[in-house]
Structure 1
Amino acid sequence: MKKFMLLIREDLSRLAEMTEAELQADIAEMTAWAEELAAKGHLLSGEPLEPETRYVRKNHIASDGPFAEARESISGYFLIEAEDLDHAARIAASCPPLMENKIAIEVRPLMIYA
């Protein structure tokens, strides 16, 4: 099995406009999916991320601009195990909020140094 990072991408304006009840419903839906992944032996870890961000480059830290103020941002991640990239993508495609078009998921293999 190989390791993959699932980067959860969400529209930040949608998140900002959600009621507390809507937010809790989304969290419960994602938690149930994570528990399903764990039960199947795929989930290694995962966490939601706060919406605040900084974009850091040599000699510059941006708290605004095209990256820090992007419409879409990474709102969380999962670290999973899967057979290959296609298998990891199929796992990501089973995410209920993705199927409801609330989020997008970027699937990235971890680079393993031998």
Structure 2
Amino acid sequence: MNEFMMIFRTEDADNKAPTPEEMQEVMQIWQDWIGGIAAQGKFVATNALGTQGKTVTSDGVITDGPYAELKEIVGGYIIVKANDLDEAFKLSEGCPILSLPTGRVEVRDVMVFDM
């Protein structure tokens, strides 16, 4: 089996902070979806990305915060095991990010380099 990364993207259309109850509900939905992948023996790892960061360009310009000029947010990722891209893509079905109007899942193969 090969590893594939699903990258979760959305646009920052709503800056409203969720209530603790809303956050708990959203986290449960994500845990259930990831748990379904784990139950198939295809889960490798996952993490959400924070809001702190810096970006550097090829000409050395440094800006605070990820994607300072863009509205798109990369919120996190999951790494899964699958036989091929189609199987990995099928695992993205039901991903909670897709319930958002601008939610997208990008599925990419993970290249392994021996160093």
Band the TM-score falls in, shorter-chain normalisation: 0.7 to 0.9
Tell me the equivalent position of 1:112: 112
Tell me the equivalent position of 1:62: 63
Work out the CA distance in 1 between the residues paired with 2:3 and 2:61.
32
Letter in 2 for 1:62: T
Higher helix share: 1
Letter in 2 for 1:43: F
**Unpaired stretches in structure 1, ≥5 consecutive residues:** none
**Unpaired stretches in structure 2, ≥5 consecutive residues:** none
Alpha carbon RMSD of aligned pairs, Å?
A: 2.2
Summarize deviations over 1:18-68 as a string: whole Å, max 9, x none.
Answer: 422322221110111111111111110101111233222242212269x32
Instruction: Check whether the contact 1:54–1:61 (CA below 8 A) recurs between aligned residues.
Output: yes
Work out the CA distance in 2 between the residues paired with 1:29 and 1:69.
30
Following TM superposition, where does structure 1 have runs of at least 4 consecutive aligned residues deviating by more than 3 angstroms?
A: none
Report the TM-score, using the length of structure 2 for normalisation: 0.81
1:95 Cα deviation after fit: 1.6
Work out the CA distance in 1 between the residues paired with 2:96 and 2:7.
15
- Which SS does the other structure have where 1:93 is aligned? coil
Q: What percent of counterpart residues are identical?
A: 27
Residue 50 (structure 2) pairs with residue 50 (structure 1): yes
| Change in CA separation of 1:112 and 1:64 when aligned onto 2, cut-off 3 Å | closer
